[in-house]
Amino acid sequence: MIDPRLRDEAVRLYDDFTHEHHDRRTLLKRMTALAGSVAAAEALIAGIAASPAAAAIVAADDPRLKIDAKAGLPLPHGKTLRGYIARPKGAAAKATVFVIHENRGLTPHIQDVARRVALAGFFAVAPDLLSDQGGTPADEDKAREMIGKADLAAVTQEVVDSVRHFGGTPHRTKVGIIGFCWGGAMVDRVAVSAGDAVDAGVAYYGPAPDPSEAAKVGAPLLLHYAGKDARVAQTGEPWVAALKAAGKSVEAFTYPGVDHAFNNDTSQERYDKAAADLAWGRTIAFLHRHLDG
């Protein structure tokens, strides 16, 4: 069993790599110094990193769903975003929910999350926000590099435009948005930029905007934070306070003793089933409350 202090420091080193320096050699050097050998370091990294081979919670061929794995999401001026769409089979979805990926792009895990959203009765749309750079690559390190080069203002506008398109589609008049990590931050950005085009937003451990932007938010927000995630907490706390001061509808929950990305079941060391299940139950209830009807 991994010593909890060693594990926490390993997660911190990995987060520095994924969110700050992006240098795998530096990561391995620091992790080796921590773990005592290259083999032990690589084992730690493998346990923390998301595994593309991890089993999905909802199978890609689940017979209850209709899937479009190569969807084109319309944007103004004839542009499209690549994306993944899941919808319940045999029943009309009550509303559209966008699922915004982490900083590794539109991975099989995020597609799985979209299927979970669809099984809850929604028309789930997971855009590939690396479309402008050719789409999400198989190499997640490369995907993170591409995310770092993305024009955030332009990408935010693409999401806003897509949200407005689906919000105007007959029989799907309400739109929600849910995002994780980088995607959680995107949820807040879209809530600031989209006005009343978004009917509900859910952000999982996303670094928050400047508190001065809170007055622009038009949608009710549900914000999930991890108790051990100091990097995000230092932005989230003033953001929540500013939203409340501005009279916005916001619910915020911090899950004690869990790491950033605690919802990602493909990461052996990060995933916390109890916290993930509690947050997911709150998320689906929140989306139904604001999007049904």
pLDDT tens profile 102-121: 999 999 999 999 999 999 99
pLDDT at 19: 81
pLDDT at 34: 80
Confidence of residue 261 (pLDDT cuts 50, 70, 90): very high
Confidence of residue 40 (pLDDT cuts 50, 70, 90): confident
pLDDT at 187: 98
Q: Where are the alpha helices (DSSP H) in the chain?
A: 4-16, 24-35, 38-48, 108-119, 140-149, 152-167, 182-193, 230-245, 273-291
What token pair was written down for 45?
Answer: 């990294």
> 87 in the Ramachandran plot: left (φ > 0), alpha (ψ -120 to 50) or beta?
beta
pLDDT at 170: 55
Q: State yes or no: pLDDT of 17 exceeds 70.
A: yes
- The bridge status of strand 250-255 relative to strand 65-74 is unpaired
Q: What percent of the chain has pLDDT over 70?
A: 97
Q: How many CA atoms lie within 13 A of 193 on its CB side?
A: 20
Instruction: Tell me whether residue 36 is exposed, middle or buried, using C-beta atoms within 10 angstroms of its C-beta: 0 to 12, 13 to 18, 19 or more.
Output: exposed
Q: State yes or no: pLDDT of 232 exceeds 90.
A: yes
Task: Summarize the confidence of residues 56-77 as an average pLDDT.
Answer: 93
Query: Can you give the pTM of this predicted structure?
Result: 0.90
Task: Summarize the confidence of residues 159-176 as an average pLDDT.
Answer: 80
Q: Is 113 helix (H, G, I), strand (E, B) or coil?
A: helix
pLDDT at 15: 78
Q: State yes or no: pLDDT of 205 exceeds 60.
A: yes
Task: Summarize the confidence of residues 12-24 as an average pLDDT.
Answer: 80
* Separation CA 161–CA 37 (nearest Å): 49
